[in-house]
Amino acid sequence: MKPDKPLEPHPVLPDYYPDLAQRPAFVRGLFDRTAHYYDHINRLLSFGSGSWYRRRALLQVGLRPGMTVLDVAIGTGLVARQALAITGDPQTVIGLDISAGMLAEVRRLLGIPLIQGLMEQLPVADACCDLVSMGYALRHVADLNVTFREFHRVLRPGGALLILEITRPAHPVKRALLKFYLGRLVPLLGWLTTGQRDLQTLMHYYWDTIENCVPPEAILQAIRAAGFAEAGCHIEFDLFRAYFGRKGGA
């Protein structure tokens, strides 16, 4: 049964945009302006969520050579690079992103097919891929229910879903430390090392969306409601979450 109520990942954040209608343009503009610095800030973030973490998660959901991957919200290609290292064929990894700036960055680095589009309305055929992956972009969609139904639609029967995300820790001390690190220290380091104010805004926004995000249980429930079987979530350090699911009918 399809849920009829939209599930927004977080409420309107008026420090950044005045209402829901303005959010997509704000998000797209922010990623366009910071695309060139995204890998740099990602290295500063570290937190173990680097290449090895993404690669391990892809292997855990069963990615193998010969499979076709749709990496949504590809950004500069941090997940797609690892997917490509596993499948071994540039034609088997397709990237999608709404930001032209991000797509320009990934185009310089990877010779894979790229699509500019919204993950809430994937411009690809039904049942065209074996894996849909999304790294650290769940907080940016308009409606999680619609998005997860789209992921389900484009997967072949038996295909897998992988969503990587950071979640605010339940423990107050861990949460305070993370807030200081992501919400204060990394934005400052980003600005000091690049002189880019937009990078500071990106990192403030990063933390604010994490802090205000709907709870992991609601995300998992939405994944199940979209039709995914065997849905679950691997959790590490009360912080990193790898949501997974499988489309039935193989």
| Residues at the contact surface with ligand SAM, assessed by CB under 6 A | 27, 31, 73-75, 78-79, 97-99, 102, 118-120, 135-137, 140-141
Alpha helices, DSSP H, located in the chain: 23-34, 38-45, 51-60, 78-87, 100-109, 144-154, 172-180, 186-194, 197-211, 216-225
Question: Of the two residues 72 and 157, which places its CB atom closer to ligand SAM in the complex?
Answer: 72
Residue type, 172: P
Closest separation between CB of residue 191 and ligand SAM, Å? 18
Closest separation between CB of residue 249 and ligand SAM, Å? 26
**In sequence order, which residues have a C-beta less than 8 Å from that of residue 215 and are 6 or more positions away?**
none
Question: Of the two residues 62 and 117, which places its CB atom closer to ligand SAM in the complex?
Answer: 117
**Torsion sign across C-alpha atoms 22, 25, 28, 33:** negative
Count CB neighbours of 234 within 10 A.
14
Question: Of the two residues 75 and 245, which places its CB atom closer to ligand SAM in the complex?
Answer: 75
Map tokens 């009360």 to a residue: 238
**Torsion sign across C-alpha atoms 67, 72, 76, 78:** negative
Nearest CA among 139, 129, 125 for reference residue 168: 139
Grouping H, G, I as helix, E, B as strand and the rest as coil, residue 212 is coil
Question: Of the two residues 153 and 229, which places its CB atom closer to ligand SAM in the complex?
Answer: 153
Question: Of the two residues 99 and 201, which places its CB atom closer to ligand SAM in the complex?
Answer: 99
Closest separation between CB of residue 250 and ligand SAM, Å? 26
Question: Of the two residues 52 and 249, which places its CB atom closer to ligand SAM in the complex?
Answer: 52
Closest separation between CB of residue 172 and ligand SAM, Å? 26
Nearest CA among 206, 208, 235 for reference residue 41: 206
Pairing of strands 228-236, 240-247: antiparallel
Closest separation between CB of residue 101 and ligand SAM, Å? 8
User: Residues 148, 219: contact at Cβ < 8 Å?
Assistant: no
Closest separation between CB of residue 75 and ligand SAM, Å? 2
* Residues across the chain: 250
Question: Of the two residues 73 and 220, which places its CB atom closer to ligand SAM in the complex?
Answer: 73
Closest separation between CB of residue 39 and ligand SAM, Å? 9
